[in-house]
């Protein structure tokens, strides 16, 4: 069977610049599928406990999945490593053209270990791979993409070189390559920078890969092409994209505004879907994605006239727009462009600038920037990436910066990671999802806010919330191991169907158990690093009643939250400290793995 023939990965020793091929044992695919799960297996097994994330002991693991690029909306990959921002498990996701091109070479993934003396790139041309030195230092991501013309690329910008704690990795960062992807949150770009690895460039993946798909998988592919082009639940992504959420969040009163001090902003329409649509130049898609959710925009007038970028997505509009009090869409587009070119996460960058604005407002520390100042937003993003002036403080993220200048009480973080664009007071289920996410505050693994704030599920009831979060997290871990895009709404059942089509007899229930196994593996990685119940916390701000708007007076009760957390642990088979029990690890078949690298 061609799709699945001899699964293999590349292991790259950056100390010696040796590149070797390695087989991926079939039993690992049965147990972890690919993507997040498979990369997580190698991370747990190979990175020593308490390793410094920016040392040569840490590993940077790229991983696609068994059917990456063969099914629609699956040109995505996971990068898994230990986070330099919070010291725990980090899995980050990106799409574009690069993931499918890598998978089509026959290599499912790449494990980078050690640390190079010189700045290098890994070049993969078909089945040939080698490390090359070159003139990479200081280059923006777009410059690197042009430097390796003819290749699909995954690279870092100056922020990764400068070890900015929330530096990201960027795939295919120029318009000519089609839709790209940013692998943000928690600093995978800084890990790549610490290894002096500037880029991975790949070309000549099998040109006829799609034609070699076995009949069973071809049928699965056709059914998903039909589904993603017609499913009404995906219509919002086909027609609009994530900026449509701005209006929903503002109406619900959960749009982060001025460092989460409020949940609505005057002038929200200026950063809405309609406003973004007016700047649209073209739609963009990852490889083989009929949804094409992305917009390439160009500022038409004002001080930022002529600046072009992909996006901005909802999270950027919320965290760098309303949360900094900025409704000048031109400034947000310029900020987005700087973040992509210098390689920093737009969400954390927006959050840390908003926090600095509140510090200035409250007299905690004068960063010289005020809410609503679009120019300051744009200029500070560049200073952070280059670690210039106050940008050097903010490059440490909200938690790190508050260690230096104070302002911990207004730091809206969980496990030292900035929150996404949904005020947790909008739903206790969402707050639980944030606090128990396996990589620090995260909304992608479970998103009950859609029913709690945009729907009619009582936002503060505890009933059903823990079950919902557990079930979402497990299914998500499994689906991400096949590297499908969230917007395409693949389910555990779809994963089972795809795996069967390539010869792995996994039922839907077994796929969900794989997801549970992966979530527990990530938890044990964090337990090993010293995280426990105390880390599954609620930001102080979410315990204060919302001051105004549709959810005025609403807050997360710490007592209710602790009750819900205990219920969550009990469903998961974890003890009261939030540690998976020996029985749970045994049931999930990872007890031996956990004991192999304590």
Binding site for ligand SF4 (CB under 6 A): 73, 95, 179, 237, 285-286, 289, 291-294, 485, 487
User: Residue 108 Cβ, how far from ligand SF4 at the closest point, in Å?
Assistant: 19
Minimal CA–CA distance to 159: which of 378, 391, 369, 334? Answer: 391
CA distances from 10 to 22, 38, 60 (A): 6, 14, 12
Find out whether 34 and 65 touch, Cβ atoms under 8 Å: yes
Using alpha carbons, select from 448, 457, 394 the residue that is nearest to residue 422.
448
Considering beta carbons, is residue 180 or 391 the nearer one to ligand SF4?
180
Q: Please report, in angstroms and rounded to a whole number, the separation of the first and last CA atoms in the chain.
A: 38
Count Cβ atoms within 10 A of the Cβ of residue 491 and give its class: 0-12 exposed, 13-18 middle, 19 or more buried.
middle
Cβ closer to ligand SF4: 285 or 411? 285
Bridging pattern class, strands 294-298 and 60-63:
unpaired
Q: How far is the CB of 478 from ligand SF4 (least distance, A)?
A: 18
| Alpha-carbon torsion angle 149, 152, 156, 157, nearest 10 | 40
The CB-of-75 to ligand SF4 minimum distance in angstroms stands at: 6
Q: From the CB of 244, what's the least distance to ligand SF4, in Å?
A: 14
Number of helices (H), then strands (E), belonging to the chain: the values are 24, 17
CA neighbours closer than 13 Å in the CB half-sphere of residue 51: 25
Please identify, using beta-carbon distances, which residue of 69 and 256 lies nearer to ligand SF4.
69
Taking the complex as a whole, the smallest distance from the CB of residue 287 to ligand SF4 amounts, in Å, to 8
Q: What's the CA gap between 539 and 26, in Å, rounded?
A: 43
Contact 258, 323 (CB under 8 A): yes
Query: What's the closest the beta carbon of residue 480 comes to ligand SF4, in angstroms?
Result: 12
Task: Find the shortest distance in angstroms from Cβ 234 to ligand SF4.
Answer: 8
**Residue 259 vs 294, nearer CB to ligand SF4:** 294
Q: Which is nearer to ligand SF4, 236 or 454 (CB)?
A: 236
CB half-sphere exposure, 514, CA atoms < 13 A: 32
CB of 491 to ligand SF4, least distance (A): 16
Whichever of 245 and 384 has its CB closer to ligand SF4, that residue is 245
28 vs 292, beta carbon nearer ligand SF4: 292
Residue (6 or 233) nearer to ligand SF4, CB: 233
Alpha helices, DSSP H, located in 174-313:
188-194, 215-230, 235-239, 245-252, 273-279
Output 73 or 322, the one with its CB closest to ligand SF4: 73
What's the min distance (Å) between Cβ of 348 and ligand SF4? 20
Centre a 10 Å sphere on the Cβ of residue 437 and count the other Cβ atoms it contains: 25
Residues 291 and 574: beta-carbon distance below 8 Å: no
């Amino acid at each position: 069977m061609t799709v699945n023939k001899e699964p293999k990965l590349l292991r790259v020793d950056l100390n010696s610049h040796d590149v070797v091929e390695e087989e991926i044992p079939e039993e690992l695919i049965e147990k972890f599928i690919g993507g997040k799960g498979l990369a997580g297996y190698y991370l747990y097994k190979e990175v020593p406990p308490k390793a410094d994330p920016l040392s040569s002991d840490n590993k940077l693991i790229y991983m696609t999945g068994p059917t990456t690029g063969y099914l629609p909306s699956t040109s995505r990959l996971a990068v898994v490593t230990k986070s330099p921002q919070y010291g725990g498990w980090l899995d980050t996701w990106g799409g574009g053209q690069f993931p499918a091109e890598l998978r089509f070479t026959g290599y499912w993934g790449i494990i980078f270990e050690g640390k190079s003396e010189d700045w290098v790139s890994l070049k993969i041309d078909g089945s040939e791979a080698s490390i090359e030195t070159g003139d990479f230092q200081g280059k923006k991501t777009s410059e690197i993409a042009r430097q390796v013309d003819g290749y699909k690329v995954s690279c870092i910008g100056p922020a990764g070189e400068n070890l900015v704690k929330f530096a990201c990795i960027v795939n295919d960062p120029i318009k000519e390559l089609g839709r790209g992807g940013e692998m943000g949150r928690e600093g995978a770009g800084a890990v790549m920078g610490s290894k002096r690895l500037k880029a991975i460039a790949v070309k000549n993946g099998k040109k006829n890969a799609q034609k070699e798909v076995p009949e069973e998988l071809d049928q699965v592919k056709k059914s998903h092409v039909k589904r993603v082009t017609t499913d009404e639940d995906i219509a919002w992504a086909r027609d609009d994209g994530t900026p449509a959420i701005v209006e929903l969040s503002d109406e619900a009163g959960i749009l982060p505004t001025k460092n989460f001090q409020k949940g609505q902003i005057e002038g929200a329409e200026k950063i809405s879907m309609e406003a973004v649509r007016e700047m649209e130049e073209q739609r963009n898609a990852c490889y083989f994605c009929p949804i094409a959710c992305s917009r390439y925009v160009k500022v038409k007038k004002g001080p930022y006239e002529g600046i072009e970028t992909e996006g901005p997505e909802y999270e950027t509009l919320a965290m760098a727009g309303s949360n900094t009090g900025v409704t000048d869409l031109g400034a947000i587009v310029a900020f987005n462009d700087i973040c992509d070119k210098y390689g920093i996460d737009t969400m954390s960058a927006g959050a840390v600038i908003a926090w600095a604005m509140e510090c200035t407002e409250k007299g905690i520390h004068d960063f010289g920037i005020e809410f609503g100042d679009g120019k300051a937003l744009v200029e500070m993003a560049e200073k952070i990436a280059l670690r210039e002036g106050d940008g050097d403080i903010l490059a440490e993220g909200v938690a790190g910066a508050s260690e230096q200048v104070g302002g911990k009480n207004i730091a809206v973080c969980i496990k030292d990671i900035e929150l996404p664009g949904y005020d947790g007071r909008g739903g206790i289920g969402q707050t639980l999802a944030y606090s128990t996410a396996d990589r620090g505050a995260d909304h992608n693994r479970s998103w009950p806010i859609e029913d709690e704030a945009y729907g009619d599920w009582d936002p503060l009831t505890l009933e059903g919330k823990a079950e919902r979060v557990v079930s979402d997290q497990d299914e998500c871990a499994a689906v991400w191991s096949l590297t499908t895009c969230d917007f395409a709404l693949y389910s555990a059942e779809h994963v089972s169907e795809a795996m069967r089509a390539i010869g792995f007899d996994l039922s839907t229930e077994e796929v969900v158990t794989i997801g549970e196994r992966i979530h527990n593996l990530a938890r044990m990685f964090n337990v090993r690093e010293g995280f426990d119940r105390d880390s599954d916390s609620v930001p102080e701000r979410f315990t204060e009643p919302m001051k105004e708007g549709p959810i005025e007076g609403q807050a997360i009760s710490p007592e209710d939250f602790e009750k819900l957390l205990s219920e969550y642990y009990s469903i998961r088979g974890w003890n009261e400290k939030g540690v998976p029990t020996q029985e749970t690890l045994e049931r999930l078949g990872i007890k031996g793995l956990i004991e192999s690298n304590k």
